[in-house]
Amino acid sequence: MEKEIGYITSLIGDPVRTNILWTLLDNKAYTATELAISADTSPQNISMHLNKLVKADLLVVESQGRHKYYRFSKPEVAYAIEAIGNLLPTEKHKKIVTNIDNSSIKYCRTCYDHLAGRIGVLITEALLKQKIIVENTNTYSLTKKGNIFFSELDVNIDDLKKHRRIFAKPCLDWSERKHHLAGSLGAALLDKMLLLDYIRRTKKSRAIVITSKGQKHLYEKFKVSV
Amino acid sequence: MEKEIGYITSLIGDPVRTNILWTLLDNKAYTATELAISADTSPQNISMHLNKLVKADLLVVESQGRHKYYRFSKPEVAYAIEAIGNLLPTEKHKKIVTNIDNSSIKYCRTCYDHLAGRIGVLITEALLKQKIIVENTNTYSLTKKGNIFFSELDVNIDDLKKHRRIFAKPCLDWSERKHHLAGSLGAALLDKMLLLDYIRRTKKSRAIVITSKGQKHLYEKFKVSV
DNA sequence: TCTATAGTTAAGTATAAAATGAAGTGTTAA
DNA sequence: TTAACACTTCATTTTATACTTAACTATAGA
């Protein structure tokens, strides 16, 4: 058994492969070249590493013309990477939070397929404060007010609940050390905010930019100023 | 950020350190020599590895006379290791399950501080079937019947709920691919079963042996035959 | 106080695996 | 139909770091 586990840990343990997995954590698919740039290495090298990750069934690959798109094979991979992220030493972590250089990725990023970072945490806190969601042990559930709120946003709650996936749960954030909204409700909220152009994804990272339209609405709805 | 994560993943990625972490997953403290034997390496080498893990705040060490006892610094470490365990390829996993040699660790082992493996899953299923616990999204809660059940076992539910730790939640088992009971209730149940001598820990692994007394009671209480 | 045990530290070596260079295949688009 | 691009394969080189050898400290027990 140790050998089997060692196989996976040694795969995750290489710096280039860690960079790949960390980049893919926003649940987007990236091409080999994009990942090579992100990991600052050669195409040959990234090809070798990606092959190992695919063979180990951590990633899946899809060919589109001359491009190959890589993404996680299953949510468990994202969970494991996030769980490792939560092991970051606290002092080092503080340094990151107070580091202004990468503030955009700090305040605003996605975690797998939902909003994370400072914005994710602030919005979640606002949802709790306004009693749109309530916290149980390790889950969130919607109040009546919450049902109205999300139906006004044109999110079909019943559809979400049909899925086998967890509906709404707190997810510990590595940068904020607080919880943000995860699960299918969290994913639906992110989708809707992207659709409404409150926020936009950036090309090369997990950073999210907030549009002026978004700023206005975030303040109106949640009293969140960014 | 990638560098910080890479630091942790490369730590976890070494085979000897993986062995250490995997061994410690039962939440017992082990001495350096025990861990060296487990990882089949020299005292000098294990010393070096343990130092790295302590410096990274994954482990803490306590001196007792001429011995040094190592254990996880926080539950997050166990969660991360378990999350990695869930990434094991399914085919390989099947091979393990049908492998009779390590059947004891397969049927009966602990995960951090609660009962896992086949027994953990069977008991959890029995608790659900008998409506002692009910499943919500990603949590379990106690029914009235459950409150009586655990008070008869002399488990103080109110005390458990006072802790900041999650009370009861499903934990995906890497060997069974089903859920077992985790959280403080799971830990309390394991403690009680050890105290009542239904089960005993073995010296050198996470395997648990079931006593004949335990077999009898497990069948009476849960209709679980082992 | 002497011996065995538990663990550490430091310098040197060995080796596995990552990176590179060169030469490919297949794809798009001018 | 040619050139540029996206990616791969394989042989070779490089390098990081785990491990060894050897000498050490600290504790326990006799």
Domain at B70, CATH number: 1.10.10.10
CB A18 within 7 Å, strand C = no
> 10 Å Cβ neighbour count for B159?
10
Model confidence at A1, pLDDT cuts 50, 70, 90, reads: low
Q: Separation of CA A38 and C1' D5 in angstroms? A: 19
Could you give phi then psi for residue B208, rounded to 5 degrees? -125, 135
**Within this chain, do residues A184 and A100 fall inside the same structural domain, yes or no?**
yes
Helix B75-85 vs helix A2-13: angle between axes, to the nearest 10 degrees?
100
| Residue whose token pair is 């499943």 | B135
**Within this chain, do residues A9 and A112 fall inside the same structural domain, yes or no?**
no
Q: Is residue A100 part of a domain?
A: yes
Closest nucleotide to the alpha carbon of A65, via C1': C27
Distance from the first to the final alpha carbon of chain B:
48
Which residue did the predictor score with more confidence, A116 or B152?
B152
**Within this chain, do residues A70 and A93 fall inside the same structural domain, yes or no?**
no
Q: Is residue A82 part of a domain?
A: no
pLDDT at res. A198: 83
Percent residues over pLDDT 90 in chain B = 31
Model confidence at A12, pLDDT cuts 50, 70, 90, reads: very high
**Within this chain, do residues B127 and B207 fall inside the same structural domain, yes or no?**
yes
Is A223's pLDDT higher than 50?
A: yes
pLDDT at res. A97: 33
Q: Is residue B82 part of a domain?
A: no
Between β-strands B109-111 and A169-172, what pairing exists: parallel, antiparallel or unpaired?
unpaired
* B13 vs B81: CA distance, rounded Å: 11
pLDDT at res. B218: 85
**Within this chain, do residues A145 and A37 fall inside the same structural domain, yes or no?**
no
**Within this chain, do residues A123 and A196 fall inside the same structural domain, yes or no?**
yes
Residue B57 corresponds to which amino acid?
A: D
Contact A18 B9 (CB under 8 A): yes
Report the number of distinct structural domains present in chain A. Answer: 2
> 10 Å Cβ neighbour count for B58?
25
- Residue B15 contacts by C-beta under 8 Å, 6 or more apart in sequence? A2, A6, A9, A10
Find which of B71-75, B105-109, B117-121 is predicted with most confidence, using mean pLDDT: B71-75
The residues that bridge with B199 in the sheet, in sequence order, are B210
Q: Is residue B160 part of a domain?
A: yes
- H or E segment at A141? strand A139-142
Comparing A18-22, A70-74, B193-197, which segment has the lowest mean pLDDT? B193-197
CB A130 within 7 Å, strand D = no
Q: What is the pLDDT of residues B141-185, one digit of tens each?
A: 899 999 999 998 888 888 888 776 778 887 766 666 567 888 889
Distance from the first to the final alpha carbon of chain A:
48
Percent residues over pLDDT 70 in chain B = 82
* B9 vs A22: CA distance, rounded Å: 11
Cα B162 to the center of its chain, rounded Å: 22
Q: Is residue A83 part of a domain?
A: no
Is B113's pLDDT higher than 60?
A: yes
Look up the domain containing B44 and give its range. 2-77
Nearest Cα to Cα of residue B120 among B67, B66, B175, B80? B175
What single-letter DSSP state applies at residue B66? Answer: T
Comparing A83-87, A204-208, B84-88, B92-96, which segment has the lowest mean pLDDT? B92-96
Which residue did the predictor score with more confidence, B1 or A22?
A22
Chain B CB contacts of A55 below 8 Å: none
**Within this chain, do residues B96 and B54 fall inside the same structural domain, yes or no?**
no
Is A9's pLDDT higher than 60?
A: yes
Residue A43 and residue A33 in contact, taking contact as beta carbons nearer than 8 Å: yes
Domain end position, chosen among B77, B99, B131: B77
Mean pLDDT of B116-137: 86
As given in the structure block, the two tokens for residue B172 are: 């995906």
Q: Does B85 touch chain A (CB under 8 A)?
A: yes
pLDDT at res. A20: 96
pLDDT at res. A122: 86
**Within this chain, do residues A94 and A146 fall inside the same structural domain, yes or no?**
yes
Is A132's pLDDT higher than 70?
A: yes
Model confidence at A135, pLDDT cuts 50, 70, 90, reads: confident
pLDDT at res. B184: 86
- Residue A29 contacts by C-beta under 8 Å, 6 or more apart in sequence? A62, A69, A70, A71
Contact B137 A19 (CB under 8 A): no
CB B125 within 7 Å, strand D = no
Could you give phi then psi for residue A177, rounded to 5 degrees? 60, 30
Average pLDDT over chain A, rounded to whole?
81
- H or E segment at A72? strand A67-72
